[in-house]
Amino acid sequence: MKQIISNLEKVFTDLDKKFIDGQIEWALGRKVALKKWRMDNILGYHYGAKTNEGYKNWGKDDWGFYEEMFRVCGGKGHYNTLIKITMQELLRYLKRTAKEQSNQEMLK
Q: Is residue 107 part of a domain?
A: no
**Per-residue pLDDT reduced to its tens digit, 53-62:** 555 555 556 6
Query: Has residue 24 been placed in a domain?
Result: no
1-23 residue pLDDT tens: 888 888 888 888 888 888 888 88
Give 3-71 as a DSSP string: HHHHHHHHHHHHHHHHHHHHHHHHHHHHHHHHHHHHIIIIIGGGGT-SS--TTTT--TT-HHHHHHHHH
Q: Considering the domain boundaries, does residue 38 fall inside one?
A: yes
Domains contained in the chain, number: 1
Phi, psi (deg, nearest 5) at residue 62? -75, 110
Structural domain for 44, as ranges: 29-101
pLDDT tens-digit series, residues 63-99: 777 888 899 999 999 898 888 888 888 888 877 877 6
